[in-house]
Amino acid sequence: MQVDVGFVSRHVFRGVERAGASAQAAVAIKRDNFHGGVWANLPFNKGETRELKLHAACTWQPMEALKLEASVAQRWFSDVPGGGVGRSLEAGLAATLPPVNGFTPGLAYYHDFTFRADTTQVSLARSIALVKWGAFLELNFHAGWAAGDDWRPDAPGPRLRDSYGYWGGEARLPYRIGAHATVTVGLHYADAFGRSDANGPFGLSARQNLWFTLGVNLDF
């Protein structure tokens, strides 16, 4: 079992800022190829969107250096700006491909049954050994496209349709401070383009997002 607690200066999901400075907490359990857990984002400012996620996934390797993961996530939201969104259910399939020149490529597809949305995302990941510190610097870059037919499923009136692209990157530095504790600091950047403020997924207007994170992981 793993327990995570942390601080984020912004909560950004697929290029769109959902909340400002927030506390985050998660509990995860893993057994063989299955893992799952619960995660929450709790903004410090009143009136910003709170989010709770229950998720589960199964991983397998059909061949060497190829890893597949099927996942499902149920999310609940409160205090969404403009209303019209209370929950969402999403399933996904992700593939981690063999490394190329030190970079590990990934490809993922997600379908949200509530938003009637399809998302495709590509990524590149790399770990750089910091020998003097006894740690690894984890780099990740991603880009994706999301298209939805009902971004405000609980709102009256016609469905709100929109599609947009997003991209970003992050640098994370996990550092073990004990037999069962790891501290991680991170710097993240994301941007979205082509999103409609009125018809697109909830969140602040499309803009460049730069934020940092600080968290503690406890494993038992």
Supply the DSSP symbol for 44: S
What mean pLDDT is predicted for residues 65-89?
95
Q: Answer whether residue 111 shows pLDDT above 90.
A: yes
Beta carbons of 96 and 104 less than 8 angstroms apart: yes
Q: How many domains does the chain have?
A: 1
- List of E strands, 9-134: 11-13, 16-19, 22-31, 34-43, 50-63, 66-78, 87-96, 104-112, 117-130
- H or E segment and range at residue 79: none
Tokens of 114: 């509530």
Give residue 45's pLDDT: 94
Beta carbons of 115 and 153 less than 8 angstroms apart: yes
Residue found under tokens 């780099």? 139
Q: Which residues are CB-contacts of 201 (< 8 A; sequence separation ≥ 6)?
A: 14, 16, 115, 117, 146, 148, 151, 162, 164, 195
Residue found under tokens 């995860």? 28
**Hey, how many other C-beta atoms are within 10 angstroms of the C-beta on 82?**
10
Mean pLDDT of the chain: 95
Q: Please report which confidence band the pLDDT of residue 83 belongs to, taking 50, 70 and 90 as the band edges.
A: confident
pLDDT tens digit string along 33-64?
999 999 999 999 998 999 999 999 999 999 88
Supply the DSSP symbol for 14: T
Q: Please report which confidence band the pLDDT of residue 103 belongs to, taking 50, 70 and 90 as the band edges.
A: very high
pLDDT tens digit string along 15-39?
999 999 999 999 999 999 999 999 9
Q: Please report which confidence band the pLDDT of residue 179 belongs to, taking 50, 70 and 90 as the band edges.
A: confident
Dihedral over Cα of 145, 76, 13, 126: its sign:
negative
Residue found under tokens 């999301």? 146
Give residue 124's pLDDT: 98
Q: Please report which confidence band the pLDDT of residue 205 belongs to, taking 50, 70 and 90 as the band edges.
A: low
Query: In this prediction, what percent of the chain has a pLDDT beyond 70?
Result: 99
Domain that holds residue 68: 2-219
Beta carbons of 16 and 203 less than 8 angstroms apart: yes
**Hey, how many other C-beta atoms are within 10 angstroms of the C-beta on 71?**
18
Query: In this prediction, what percent of the chain has a pLDDT beyond 90?
Result: 85
- CATH, residue 165: 2.40.160.40
